[in-house]
Structure 1
Amino acid sequence: MSNGSNLDDYQRIVRALSDRIVEAQAPIRILDAVKWDESIRQGFLDNGCKRLPAVDRAYYEARPLGFDGAAKKLELQNIERDITRQLGQFNPVGQIMRRMCKEYRMVIRMLEARGTADFGLISQELYGAASDAFHAGDPTLADLGLMLSDYLNNIDGRGDLKDEPKTLTAKEAVTMLQRRLDEVFGAGEGIIRVFESDGIVADAAAGADYIKVRTDAMFNERDVRALEVHEGLVHVGTTLNGLNQPICTFLSKGPPSSTVTQEGLAILMEVIAFTSYPSRLRKLTNRTRAIHMAEEGADFLQIFEFFREQGYSEDSSYANSSRVFRGSTPDGLPFTKDLSYLKGFILIYNYIQLAVRKGKLEQIPLLFCGKTTLEDMRTLRQLVDEGLVVPPKYLPPQFRDLNALAAWMCFSNFLNHLSLDRIEADYANIL
């Protein structure tokens, strides 16, 4: 990263304000603040999975945030005020930074409200709700979840689509993943490290320049390919591109609005790199459906039962159900972050489709220049032209050469205009 010595006065002001945002948000760790510890899981299993987990407001109060919420909100408010003072009300990069400050303040308000109804309401403001429509009259995320479930049920009985057995240990998965990422990011440079960890809930998790793989998890080759694309090419790639920004350093950090873009990009990449598969898609649709059920009033036991009915083990059902209620209470409103996957996928897909239709292909790779937010894309294009933002250094092959993606979207644009119901009737005697 540049040290800012060769910047002009305007660039230095932007860089200084940007650095203040990066520093201010450092102690805010959303997932750490909302997770339930091992004793809650053990207690639930010990009670025969029949009693709500013992999580209430007092549970979170006994686990302080690790920073002073009031002081942190004030700090972000002061940065926001300084952005307006130094850059003016309508400066494009100032508008992005101000929105980030507002968002981080809202995140703090959400974390301060852990274990209360406000937690779920603020979560809906930040990440959306399952009952949100994409456009007037369009299906909602909850509708999409049900629709995908129906499609998946239709292909579920087929033996040839069953997952390969998970025969790779974490150690083997680490070696394979490291090798694949070295091919993309450059071997020997140690740009991305892959290692085992026993302190994570998911099978794998990405950091700034590393991917942790859970020590006791088992994998198959398809899982490793999906991790390479999802965690490596998208999550770590965009972080590295953000850290590579000499002026707009805030692009290395992602507030909730960028989570939707990030996860949407990651799922889209899985689809176009042909690394996604039905059981993985079912995991996303089940999470979306579970969040919708909780929004409609279902409690932890009902969500747990839903996952059991979907064929998950007790352990997996607990893990999936606790994702829905973490930060909240077991009979409260859900934490809606897991809507980001399908919601982001739809939004990003539509964005790329329109960019192709309007001939604005140069906008598409800019999604990777850091932790971007979809609504900022037009401004980012401007900032690249002004030299405030540098184009992404690390890009997945599918976005480096847009030929195939553009061709696919051209066909896709046309196919969207055909009536599938009409086609189904016409094809009835050949399918």
Structure 2
Amino acid sequence: MDDYQRTIRTLSDRIVLAQAPIRVLDAVKWDDSIRQDFLKAKGKEMPAVSRDYYLSRPLSFDSSAVKSEFQHIERDITRQLGQFNPVGQIMRRMCKEYRMVVRMLEARGTEDFGLISQELYGAASDAFHAGDPTLSDLGRMMSDYLDNIDGRGDLKDEAKNLTAKDAVNLLQTRLNKVFGECEDTIRVFESDGIVADAAAGADYIKIRTDAKFNERDVRALEVHEGLVHVGTTLNGLNQPICTFLSKGPPSSTVTQEGLAILMEVITFASYPSRLRKLTNRTRAIHMVEEGADFMQVYQFFREQGFEMPESYGNASRVFRGSVPNGLPFTKDLSYLKGFIMVYNYIQLAVRKGKLEQIPLLFCGKTTLEDMRTLRQLVDEGLVVAPKYLPDQFRDLNALSAWMCFSNFLNHLSLDRIEADYSNIL
């Protein structure tokens, strides 16, 4: 490396080190005693979570020291790289985001927690573009479509007859085939300390011990957690200079989750009940933004056909870090929001003939607003192209063809088509 590259690498490593103690989901989750008490009361009593509850569970790091460190890093980035240096601008934004994340965690159990969450991840009432529908509109629209096909017996989910152990073995085998030489470092194992059915780390995927799966679920985990979340982490860790690409602030979470949902769709790994789960999360967050409390959201999930434990789990996701009558934790908006944003980005890249920028979505924990800069950094040798890339993004022929048709179809009126096809459908 030359002096310039070494400076970037040093500053980048400092960001990676400074963010290491921040564990957002661990800091905001409710412990199992809250769940047990709620179920013991037959779902009739509000969960006993208040500001004092969070104060009794202090953060595992010195929040003031972490904020101060990011402030120092941001100042040094400007001093050493200048105000308008492209990679410096990315790193400064990351520092600002991480400081905001710490402020959000400090505010657990207060209104500020929800407000900062909306600033970081967005709100269900946000529009994608001026005059366009909002995320809550998208959630309602997709729910209507799903309702129309819900009664079809041939679209029912297969029985979930795979235990967590079965899922671990099957997923490990599939990932070994995908990542080849990395098979000894990508581990799949059971865990009883997670809320979701599965969660990805830097080089592992955890499967919840008491969860049940079918083969379609495992295929979705392979694509979502493996090809996207683990794959982009490994590509970020493979960066020799811009090591910050191995870690993702909230802005990259939206891109990451959107990319993961897009991969589920284009690999035919998704399915109606999976989409229903995502739309329900969006609708629940919107309900809370409109004033609903925990019991109302819990009842919403009960009406969707979930049993008491699952309804509690779904509702508690919305209120993590908050209180049962407070503002929502809006991270779960990232899935649908990110999908729309990533899909639109790829459409425009194809329309403008900039196909070379599409695979760069996988070069680490990327953010859409940085994609043009990342293209420049690849040309300068500061960022390396992704090593691990799904087949759909390695050969862009089929994806480009699909997007060309999609660009045209977007100009057609679905209402007019429905009227014209009324006699044949």
Report if TM-score (shorter chain) is over 0.5.
yes
What's 1:261 paired with?
Answer: 255
Change in Cα spacing, 1:168 to 1:425, as seen in structure 2 (3 Å) is same
Letter in 2 for 1:284: L
How many angstroms does 1:188 deviate by? 7.1
Alpha carbons 1:185, 1:191 under 8 Å: kept: no
What's 2:324 paired with?
Answer: 330
Structure 1 residues 310-325: aligned runs within 5 Å: 310-325=304-319
What's 1:398 paired with?
Answer: 392
What's 1:213 paired with?
Answer: 207
CA distance in 2, matches of 1:287, 1:121: 18
1:230 corresponds to which of 224, 229, 232: 224
1:407 corresponds to which of 401, 404, 422: 401
SS of residue paired to 2:195: coil
SS of residue paired to 2:190: strand
Alpha carbons 1:149, 1:282 under 8 Å: kept: yes
CA distance in 2, matches of 1:264, 1:201: 20
Alpha carbons 2:19, 2:98 under 8 Å: kept: yes
Q: Does 1:180 align with 2:174?
A: yes
What's 1:288 paired with?
Answer: 282
CA distance in 2, matches of 1:102, 1:33: 19
CA distance in 2, matches of 1:217, 1:425: 45
Alpha carbons 1:251, 1:371 under 8 Å: kept: yes
* Structure 1 residue runs of 4 or more that deviate by more than 6 Å after TM superposition: none
CA distance in 1, matches of 2:113, 2:59: 14
CA distance in 1, matches of 2:47, 2:107: 19
CA distance in 1, matches of 2:260, 2:182: 25
2:94 corresponds to which of 96, 100, 109: 100
CA distance in 2, matches of 1:378, 1:245: 18
- Residues 143-179 of structure 1: per-residue CA shift (max 9 Å, x gap): 0000000000000000000000011111111111111
Tell me whether 36-45 or 146-155 shows the greater mean CA deviation.
36-45
What's 2:198 paired with?
Answer: 204
CA distance in 1, matches of 2:417, 2:256: 35
- Residues 312-340 of structure 1: per-residue CA shift (max 9 Å, x gap): 11101000000000100000000000000
SS of residue paired to 2:206: strand
CA distance in 2, matches of 1:401, 1:113: 46
2:345 corresponds to which of 341, 351, 354: 351
Q: Does 1:57 align with 2:59?
A: no
Give structure 1 stretches of 5+ with no counterpart.
1-6
RMSD: 0.8
CA distance in 1, matches of 2:114, 2:195: 22
TM, length-normalised to structure 1:
0.98
CA distance in 2, matches of 1:320, 1:151: 21
TM, length-normalised to structure 2:
0.99
Alpha carbons 1:55, 1:330 under 8 Å: kept: yes
Letter in 2 for 1:158: R
CA distance in 1, matches of 2:206, 2:45: 33
What's 1:341 paired with?
Answer: 335
CA distance in 1, matches of 2:283, 2:243: 36
How many angstroms does 1:183 deviate by? 1.1
Letter in 1 for 2:376: Q
- Residues 14-46 of structure 1: per-residue CA shift (max 9 Å, x gap): 000000000000001100000000010111112
Identical-residue share of aligned pairs (%): 84
What's 2:38 paired with?
Answer: 44
How many angstroms does 1:187 deviate by? 5.6
Q: Does 1:152 align with 2:146?
A: yes
Alpha carbons 2:175, 2:183 under 8 Å: kept: no
How many angstroms does 1:191 deviate by? 3.5
What's 2:106 paired with?
Answer: 112
SS of residue paired to 1:186: helix
How many angstroms does 1:84 deviate by? 0.1
Give structure 2 stretches of 5+ with no counterpart.
none
Alpha carbons 1:84, 1:94 under 8 Å: kept: yes
Alpha carbons 2:139, 2:279 under 8 Å: kept: yes
What's 2:235 paired with?
Answer: 241
CA distance in 1, matches of 2:16, 2:159: 42
Q: Does 1:279 align with 2:264?
A: no
CA distance in 1, matches of 2:24, 2:234: 21
What's 2:6 paired with?
Answer: 12
SS of residue paired to 1:194: strand
Structure 1 residues 123-162: aligned runs within 5 Å: 123-162=117-156
